[in-house]
Amino acid sequence: MRIIAGEFRSRRLYTPADAETTRPMPDRVRESLFGLLRGHCEGAAVFDGFAGTGSIGLEAVSRGAASCVLVEQDKHIVQLLRHNVEMLGCGDRCEVFAGDALGAGALARAPRPLKLAFLDPPYPLIREPLGFRRVMSQLAALVDLLLPDGFAVLRTPWPMFLEAAASPGHPDAREVTRKDKRSRVKKGRSWRRYADAMDPRRAAEHLGDEEADMEDSVAQPEPEAPRPQPVPADLTLPNAVGPETHEYKTMALHLYARRVNR
């Protein structure tokens, strides 16, 4: 991983041995992104959430950003991020915050006013409905801090779908229902046998209960219910103009601007 352009052009960054740990943005996509943001980096105050080893935030600094807050939660990656800041000699322009990019602490450290904000959450997090809501809530909060000519950028998988929660018709839900039903049937029959044990005339009524219990203990096959289908994600924000979406095969970048007149 290297810086593409600017003051630190071609300087290589420290990265983990496993590229999947941080899922860095490919060079061609970063180059396209900063082409879209041309003229917006000079003198800018930048927030880089889920910074990883700093390839986005440090690229912005290399291209003239005045300050950048880089937020990363993984302790090992934070060490690499700090090494990269030190190696480039830009510690006076960069603040590394070890914490949750979606937390209140990270938001409190965001520059005010803010020119550029980047959020690059892990794909499993943003595909999960609760995680998606957290990401969009933090993104909206960052948009509120933007200058009128500022931008917030969100990276997502593409196409962007949310995982569907299991419905009552899901096979797992049906299995629980069958077990509960068998338990209630067995308990009821056992209680009746106990209650009638003293009445020989009614004992014959329960002769077939053992066979019935055996039949109930075997799960009856049921038609396979359709699996829950993923739901398209709504990427709009009430306080933002956009998103302006740029697709790159299996990923997309979404650009937002602050809605001034609301």
**DSSP string of 31-74, one letter each residue:** HHHHHHTTTSSTT-EEEEET-TTSTTHHHHHHTT-SEEEEEE--
Selected from 3.40.50.2300, 3.40.50.150, 1.10.12.10, 3.40.640.10, the CATH number assigned to the domain covering 19-162+230-258 reads 3.40.50.150
- Kindly state the percentage of the chain with pLDDT values over 70: 74
Q: Is the pTM of this model over 0.95?
A: no
136 has a pLDDT exceeding 70: yes
Domain ranges of the chain: 19-162+230-258, 171-217
Which of 85-89, 100-104, 187-191, 224-228 comes out lowest in average pLDDT?
187-191
74 half-sphere exposure, CB direction, 13 A CA radius: 15
